Amino acid sequence: MLQLFGHREPRLLVTGQTISMFGDGVANVALTLLVLDTTHSVAKLAWFATARMTPLVLLLLVGGVIVDRHARRTLLLISDLARGALTGGLVVLLATGTLRFWQLLVFAVLFGSFDAIFTPAMSALTPEIVPEHLLGAMNAVRPLSNNVVGGMIGPAVGGLVAAWSTTAAMAIDTATFAASAAALVLMRPTPTPTRVAASTMIHEIKEGIGYVRSTNWIWTTLTAVTLGNALLFTPMNVLIPFFLRHDLHAAKVTVGYFFAAYGLAGGIGALVSGSVAIPRRRIRAMWIAWTAANGVLLIFGLVTQSWEVFLVPLVTAPGILYGNVVWESMLQAVVPRELLGRVSSVDWFVSLGLAPVGLVFAGYLSSLVGVRTYFVGAAIVSTVPGLIILASKRINAVDAGR
């Protein structure tokens, strides 16, 4: 990681994104508490999260094509400016007391639409500005700052600020988007990717999908990850705050501290992940980590006090993060540069494809059987694919020659 910061472009990118992640951490807690306090409904909180996730998923494939047609740095700048403007609009509505739930849904849809460009653009820009031997460090330092600043410090501050003023919390997020955009402006322009001039958008989407389908270790991993994301990791952000507030009767600030604990554990995992070499058995290493992250949710069968919920991030956060670092580094090292935006968009599209449905399903089912029972059942179901992949010689064959 210290070597990485010796390079100007990664240093600027990480600095800008770290500031933005702090604002995101503040805003995530503020918005969660806002919806819960105004609707008192886990189902509506799930709908709000779904409204942001759905356009992200639906537009990812188009976003991947856009990323492989235009300079990635420029696309990140456009996305940051647009999301900053949307957040600023929310501040105005809050300050004037005119905000309604349907306006929050519109905000979420538009915000998620620009996420569909930002996500693959970030993945595709990374190998353009980072030497290959430092890809693992870069793929770890971003989630390190995300977890420590965006997942720990930001939510802790967000819980305190939101208890005083949701408007102030969202204003902080707006300012951090401006800082991130400024860092991108200071970076050197990146080249436009090489492509066939006569190629249509549909053809380019098919190229990305075709590469994924023909690569065994990619499509099997994506298929398995989809289940865990839909049933566990996406609904967690909705169900755990609800569980803390309504089942365990925890204070508002406890929700912020939970996200902070998740960020701290993820930050430690990122620091370790970025300081060690990518393992020889990449598929096996990342699936051991991901399977452990799934299985630890079984603890909800025993939880009776708020502090016990904080045990979940100790395994889940570093497990997910380490697996993601190995996965992203593997994609960036193996996939051709001219296809990386599209393959990355297919990656996100498939792995998050059922997440909106999962949010609604989790919100509905947990309201019937309870959050505790839901997590135990979902953890059992989500752990099975990882065990199958760990035992599969065919899937692990990609690492046989390393």
Q: Cβ distance 124 to 344 under 8 Å?
A: yes
Domain containing 128 equals: 4-187+200-399
Tens digits of per-residue pLDDT, 262-312?
A: 778 877 888 888 788 888 899 999 999 999 998 888 888 777 787 888 888
Helices (H) and strands (E) in the chain, counts: 18, 0
Q: Cβ distance 284 to 396 under 8 Å?
A: yes
314 within domain boundaries: yes
Nearest to 4 by CA among 134, 117, 166: 134
193 within domain boundaries: no
**What total number of domains does the chain contain?**
1
pLDDT (mean) for 3-30 = 87
Q: Cβ distance 238 to 46 under 8 Å?
A: yes
Distance (Å, rounded) from C-alpha 22 to C-alpha 316?
A: 21
User: So what's the pLDDT on residue 197?
Assistant: 60
C-alpha distances (whole Å) from 339 to each of 68, 137, 209, 333, 359 are 7, 22, 10, 12, 31
User: So what's the pLDDT on residue 311?
Assistant: 84
Nearest to 319 by CA among 347, 348, 344, 286: 286
77 within domain boundaries: yes
Question: Residue 325 is part of a domain; what is its CATH number?
Answer: 1.20.1250.20
Tens digits of per-residue pLDDT, 66-110?
A: 888 888 899 999 999 999 999 898 888 888 888 788 888 888 899
195 within domain boundaries: no
User: So what's the pLDDT on residue 148?
Assistant: 75
40 within domain boundaries: yes
33 within domain boundaries: yes
Average pLDDT, the chain: 84
Percent of the chain with pLDDT over 90: 11
Nearest to 366 by CA among 355, 357, 377, 356: 377
User: So what's the pLDDT on residue 288?
Assistant: 94
Q: Which residues contact 129 (CB under 8 A, 6 or more apart)?
A: 7, 9, 10, 13, 187, 190
Angle formed by the axes of helices 337-351 and 216-228, nearest 10°: 30
Tens digits of per-residue pLDDT, 123-150?
A: 888 888 888 788 878 888 877 777 778 7
303 within domain boundaries: yes
Exposure class string for 299-334: b at 16+ Cβ within 10 A, else e: bbeebeebeebbebbbbbbbbbbbbbbbbbbbbbee
Amino acid at 262: Y
Q: Any idea what DSSP says for residue 231?
A: I
Largest CA distance in the chain: 62
Which residue stretches of 40-149 are H helix?
Answer: 42-67, 72-95, 101-129, 135-145
